[in-house]
Chain A
Amino acid sequence: MTDVIIVDEEGHSVIGKAPTSPQDESIGYMESLEEALEYMDIDPKREGREFGKQMETAIYTGTSMLNTVINMSGYKTGLLVTKGFEDIIVQGRGSQTFIGAQWSEITHMQYRKHRIPLVPREQARGITERIDMFGQPVIPLYEHEVEQGARELLVDEECEAIAIVFLMSYTNPQHEERAAQIVRRVMQEVGREVPLEISSEVAPTTREVSRANATVIQAYASHAAREQLFRIEEELKKIDYSHSLKTVLGYGGITNIRYPRLFESAMSGPVGGLMGAKYLSSVIGEDNIVCSDVGGTSFDAGAITAGVLPIDREPGFQDMYVNVPMLGIRSIGAGTGTYIRLDPQTNRLKLGPDSAGGTPGPTFMEAGNTTPTINDANLLLGILNEDNYLGGKVKVNKQVSYDLFKEKIADPLGMDVYVAAETCMDLLNVMMREHLVRSLMVGHDLRDYVLLGYGGGGPLHLLGYAGDDPWKAVATVPHAGAFSAWGGACMDYSYRRHKSVATMITPDLDDAMKVGYLQPVNMAWEALEEELLAELKEEGFTPDQISTTRVVYMKYLGQLDDIEVETPVQSIDSPDDVDRLIKAYEDRYTEMFTLVAKTDSDVASYQITEVCVIAKVATVKPKLRKHELADKTPDSAAFKFKRPVFNGGKWHDADIWRMEDLVPGNEIDGLAVIEASNTTLYVPPEWHVRIDEHDIYWLERKDR
């Protein structure tokens, strides 16, 4: 489905839905927009233009890039690559065959498979050349090979796009740039102009496999996707929308669809939630937020620390590692659709990692799945309402859940059906809690963080996985299922650029040498900043609208993994600047890896491996309305009825509330279930709910 969400400046939103039209996405987009307008009592035919004129920003958050890669429907791409590396895409790396797999699947090793390559071997040509780690050309570019390779790819192979990837080109782009000139000349000669991408422009960072993947995705998928975006923009112009269409970058920012490195938008799926949380954090004055999103198949989490978004620089995407900054979101295969099974050898309970998702869904939907899922357990426990599943749109057969759960899980374990169901739910909550507390939050103190839950299944499990861990606070929002979409409207215009550098500080350097050795960092910062400012100026922004931040990535000599350090200095001009930078690094390092991990500073050597600049322009965002606080006791209309809910091994009568009728100021005690059309908030007996003036639900333990 294609969803269009319209958000007004007061923060109100409506959602329209229409079938996706992959051949021409503008059809689904416009149909969906029309449905959303109807919900706002706007007649698309008569008043559509009036509405279009007033639209401040239209943002596309869809998956056209992703679909292009999944469906293998991008431009036939030819690759010019350092000779001897023609198989770089086909061969990839071994670890690309088990991205996201769990350990038992990794050790078994039997079913590994490389993905279908975006560039098959037949479309790659090797070019003799080499540049070393210092940027020195060691083997000059064999230009005759470029000419011949380009001709073969354009004429014989009829490629529709060309990517150029040379080793170490991020240290010196001259070979790639010269090769690009030759390819352009050949294009003119053979009369075929096709898109051309070079890796030192697309992603000037180290690790050639990931840089090659980035460059190839940009060549293969971005142009096809951009055509779709232009089509949508064209349709929007017809209703008098006067700005450019925007899209979402994977690191949390919006950009004009003309943005050159459009592949950075390929992994924008989970961005909305974090960006919504970031915006929320600025309104409620909380700098540290852990975002947790429970969906049907996966549990996604990311931590915002001191207002800074987590960034992953080499995320896995469709079985490829890609050099692209992306919001650091960690996922595990655990959600409301997670399958519940018993191990045939040991009768042990196994949750997932696979899932029935929404299709075929839980067994009670009778849509072909006969393996119990977590939502079957939620239904049996009385937490889900059999008459209100997905707002009552889906018919539920509870008896099916009961029978299958009894036959497949409870009986073989010799357990009561309801006790077994609660055991499964508790186990899923433990898995999610572990993922947050011991995986995501290593090196951070929970007492400094607000835990925010959203996503269709978020409020259902939030208090289960919050448990008794010492979070500063726990919160959710109404309409948690639509929170990510709302977050899409809360983003700044934001660009970031990374570049690998090679610098080292050793204990034997004198002060002048220390500063001298770090000059490449200053130079890279300045170059990146200049580039970003130019791009934003091109977009029509003025320098006073743009703010920039500088970051370095640093490690001890010899280590492979560096860590992100927000630099305390804007440029490195004195020995004191160097010392402050080292101190910032070591503070962050010991926080993350314990004190025993530190090297004595009299023998330690440090390396700065990468620098980054973030340039940002604030945009108009929906207001988060402030309401008058009503009574603590909710209006009687909000109370639906009492329903038995199984908790702690016993049945209790739980209060069932209608979320739509709850207002700021209301408070509710567990045991309760608060139902909305797209989500269910489950409040166990030890919890209490308070709705604040921004309509945020704060969840507090009664014992604290």
Chain B
Amino acid sequence: MAGLSLAERIQADKEAFAKTGNLFGLETLTRKEEDRGEYEALWHILSNLCNVAWETGCKVSSSPIAVEGGDALWGLHLPTGEAICVSRGITAHPGLLADMIKNFINLGYEDYPGFHQGDIFENNDPHYGGIHAPDFDMAMPLFYEGKLVAWASAVTHVSDCGSVTPGSVGFLNPDCYSDGLCISMEKVGENDAYYPWYERRVRSRTRTPDFVMGDARGRLAGCVTIRERLIEVIEKYGLDFFLEATQEFVEDSRRYAVGRVKTQTVPGRIRKSQFKDLAMKDKNIILGKQDVDCLMALPMELEVGADAGVRLSLRGASGTVPFGENISPTALKSGLLNGYSHIVGFDMFNSGPTAAWDVETPPSGSWANPFEVDYSASSGVAWAPAVMWMSNLYEVFGRLFQMRGFVEEMAAGAATTMTAEFAGITQLGYYLAGLTLEQASNGSPARGFADGENSAWCIYTPNADFGNAEVTELYYPILYLGRNIEPDSGGYGRFRGGLGHTAVWMVHNTPGMDYQCGDAGMRSKVVSNHGMYGAYPTFPDSPSYAHDTNVKELIDAQEPLVHDRGPAEAPTIDTAIKARDLQSPAPAPFLTPEPLQNYDIIVHPISGAQAMGDPVERDPAAIEVDLNKGWTSPRVASDIHGVVASHNGAYTVDAAATEARRAEIREERKKSAVPFKEWWTEERKKVAAKENMDPAVLDMWRSSMELSPDYGAELRSFWDLPDDFEF
């Protein structure tokens, strides 16, 4: 490879991979086999280096979302861009950072402006592979004796990215021009310093420049830390060993991901559909075209080949939406690393697993590949559809693991992530806009052998944690009135999902505060993820708020306040307080039309995860425990789980009566069941007549079938519809 430019090397690597099936054409891992000790030592040292960068960078950085929520990452890359190893943090980013570095090379930056020690390159532009504006991706070329030997990279999620609405979850952005401050594949500094005009731009184009610049310093400090220590490492192990072993790490990790698929799954094709709604009609919007309800199809087809190769397809994905919920294919593939790291490639984590699968280019013009057709599509919150699509991965792999007997590896689908962002004058008197950490900790999916855990899991970050309420209060003008576990939020099944929680806030000490109940992967009216193997799904995300309230009077009179969501049929916010403007439930996502004021109340539930198995097979003893903790209601226990319990101070389950009741339920089910053919015949009539279909539903099917003609043909053939049938 000597003498080749980086761009030529990328091309040569691509050809070698196509030819041999091994990254960089590495059929044998020579360094590994010849020097096992040094190979492992180097891996250990480099991984540790990234974590030191993480520690340094996070302490310098200033986003609660980065530091306490873990939405940040530092990495070390090959000269050609592949991630060698990364710090802790969000495992979706390494793919993105790797692709960004490749992109800098492929766009000819090696010639102009050239790569030099101390240069800082950044991107957050989805048109060039960025995921969304608040994720500032950075790369620094690292040189040894004049030769580019590696890259250091970093990403932090900033508190405000200057989009049309305050904060960082731009679900309401009508187009890319409203996504905020845009860094389009730029050199933004040299000699370890940002250009002065970079800081000027941040100051003039984001609402929280001190915080955004604090993050910039954090990214830089981490990367400089990597560089300084890397030189010592190369001196110790020698440059040739370093360059060759680091390539082998990436190939080795590809083999690890393939190996797990080979030993723990079965070959075959498996599909999962999933739908995401955006209920936006008659709401506070930016442009007229947004006065519409949308439904998005997020289908996944996974095929495991005889060689354990994994192919993923999004055939049937619906069209773009006039909101922030569109994502570039590069970002989507990179985001997939996140799910893959939980399920398949969690050891030796780097770019390797991305070469262990093949993602078919999503249909052009769909939410997953918008720009060729709709250049101005917004990606303000590209994560939102991506994480929900990724949730399918747990179920499809869960089924494959189960077939091979790896029950302990099964996980039903993920919880959803509805965000809360606040903007306004804080209690300390300065302006701040940004995310809370509430959504960073959901219930975990039900497992093949046990319930999920409460508030200990998150699809977008392994560092699942909601932090401390007292810390959040330092940043935002709110007081917590509650943060307890939400009953029945983990679906209903033999094993239930881990439960989520409900945050209740009272606005406090501010002249006014915007509440943006945002979409980072939530559902409003439709059931999205369904649970596995006969489980019933959990309820959709359902926040509420009360503006201009009588809470002050209630406090003065020492009357009961709002501390929980309460029963769905009589929410506490409805019964306990009065308000001029009571939105209960307020269909999410939304931005409050006018700023909230002191003593206003917000009830913001965070989803639990999905369940597994038939609810009438749930151990009655587990129901008794849940009843006594208040984690399920007597109604759910009796109607859904068929449990007969009596209450005398505490709940006691009557085992015999429960068995009898369950037998009855099974009989009732048989009575209402019909043969498939019969159901199909009746249902076909409705489909053909487009009966009872909302315009959002029709739009979705129309675009799905149009953008993926073979999918359309398959759909018509399933329902036996004429070849020219359209929704």
Interface residues of A (CB under 8 A from B): 82-88, 90-95, 97, 103-104, 106-114, 120-122, 126, 128, 130, 132-134, 138-140, 142, 144, 167-168, 206-210, 343-346, 348-349, 413-415, 420, 422-424, 426-427, 430-431, 434-435, 438-439, 442, 502, 504, 556-561, 563, 592-594, 596-599, 603, 605
Contacts and interface: CB of A to CB of B under 8 A. Distances in A.
18 contacts: A94-B458, A94-B463, A94-B465, A95-B465, A103-B47, A104-B346, A111-B408, A121-B630, A132-B508, A167-B480, A206-B470, A208-B470, A346-B256, A349-B37, A349-B40, A430-B41, A430-B44, A559-B60
Nearest to B32: A348
A90 B485 contact: yes
Given A94-B466, A103-B88, A596-B192, A345 B409 contact: no
B79 interface: no
Interface string B7-46: 0000000000000000000000000110011001100110
Q: Across the A-B interface, give the 3 residue pairs with the lowest CB-CB distance, nearest first.
A: A84-B482, A345-B259, A558-B62
Interface stretch (B528-536, B559-567, B699-707): B559-567
A605 B218 CA distance: 16
B259 A83 contact: no
B516 interface: no
B44 A434 contact: yes
A95 B464 contact: yes
Nearest to B258: A345
B456 A114 contact: yes
Given A83-B563, A346-B255, A439-B51, A132 B427 contact: yes
Contacts of A113: 453
Contacts of B47: 103
A594 B88 contact: no
A109 B462 contact: yes
Nearest to A506: B430
Interface stretch (B169-177, B219-227, B377-385, B417-425): B219-227
A561 B59 CA distance: 6
A193 to B, nearest CB: 25
Interface string B459-478: 00011111111110110000
Contacts of A139: 555, 561
B59 A593 contact: yes
B62 A207 contact: no
Contacts of A120: 629
A345 B349 contact: no
B221 A596 contact: yes
Interface of B: 32-33, 36-37, 40-41, 44-45, 47-49, 51-52, 55-56, 58-62, 64, 67-68, 88, 91, 192-193, 210-211, 213-214, 217-218, 220-221, 224-225, 228-229, 252, 255-256, 259-260, 263, 341-342, 346-349, 408-409, 411, 427-428, 440-441, 444, 447, 453-458, 462-471, 473-474, 479-485, 501, 504, 506, 508-509, 555, 558, 560-561, 563-564, 628-630
A83 B466 contact: no
User: Which interface residue of A134, A597, A598 has the most chain B CB atoms within 10 A?
Assistant: A597
A438 B229 contact: yes
B465 A93 contact: yes
A331 to B, nearest CB: 15
A107 B455 contact: no
Contact of B211 (A104, A420, A558): A558
Given A142-B558, A345-B263, A427-B37, A207 B60 contact: no
Contact of B409 (A103, A110, A142, A438): A110
Given A94-B455, A121-B630, A430 B463 contact: no
Contact of B49 (A93, A130, A438): A438
A84 B464 contact: no
A504 B429 CA distance: 11
Given A122-B629, A557-B62, 6 more contacts: A91-B455, A93-B468, A138-B508, A207-B468, A346-B348, A349-B40
B563 A126 contact: yes
A346 B32 CA distance: 10
B39 to A, nearest CB: 8
A106 B466 CA distance: 16
B36 A415 contact: yes
Contact of A427 (B44, B210, B462, B481): B44
Given A346-B255, A442-B52, A593 B481 contact: no
Nearest to A144: B558
Contacts of A107: 91, 341-342, 346, 349, 462
A168 B427 contact: no
Q: In this complex, which of A113, A139, A439, A603 has the most chain B Cβ atoms within 10 angstroms of its Cβ?
A: A139
A39 B255 CA distance: 60
Contacts of B563: 83-84, 126, 128
B346 A560 contact: no
Contacts of A207: 468, 470-471
Contact of A594 (B56, B62, B255): B56
B468 A210 contact: yes
Nearest to B448: A110
A313 B427 CA distance: 26
Contacts of A84: 480-484, 504, 563-564
Contacts of B441: 93-94
A596 B465 contact: no
A504 B428 CA distance: 9
Contacts of B453: 97, 112-114
Query: Which of A109, A130, A210 has the most chain B CB within a 10 Å cutoff?
Result: A109
Given A97-B456, A345-B255, A559-B61, A605 B210 contact: yes
Contacts of B411: 110
Nearest to A83: B563
A95 B458 CA distance: 11
Contacts of B474: 133, 502
A111 B41 CA distance: 28
A210 B470 CA distance: 11
A633 B509 CA distance: 77
B558 A596 contact: no
Contact of B479 (A110, A130, A594): A130
A84 B229 CA distance: 48
Nearest to B35: A423
Given A93-B441, A438-B45, A560-B67, A594 B225 contact: yes
Nearest to A504: B428
A83, A103, A128, A603: most-surrounded residue (chain B CB, <10 A)? A103
B62 to A, nearest CB: 4
Given A95-B464, A132-B427, A430-B41, A83 B481 contact: yes
Interface centre among A120, A128, A144 (most CB of B within 10 A): A128
A80 to B, nearest CB: 15
Contacts of A442: 52, 55-56, 225
Contacts of A94: 440-441, 455-458, 463-466
A206 B40 CA distance: 41
A90 B499 CA distance: 12
Given A345-B256, A561-B67, A112 B210 contact: no
A44 to B, nearest CB: 51
Contact of B36 (A90, A109, A423, A557): A423
B376 to A, nearest CB: 33
Contacts of A90: 454, 485, 629
B560 A343 contact: no
A345 B260 contact: yes
Contact of A87 (B49, B485, B561): B485
Contact of A109 (B213, B224, B457): B457
A502 B214 CA distance: 20
Nearest to A469: B232
Nearest to B450: A113
B479 A103 contact: no
Contacts of A106: 88, 462-463
A701 B221 CA distance: 34
A85 B483 contact: yes
Contact of B41 (A97, A345, A426, A594): A426
A167 B41 contact: no
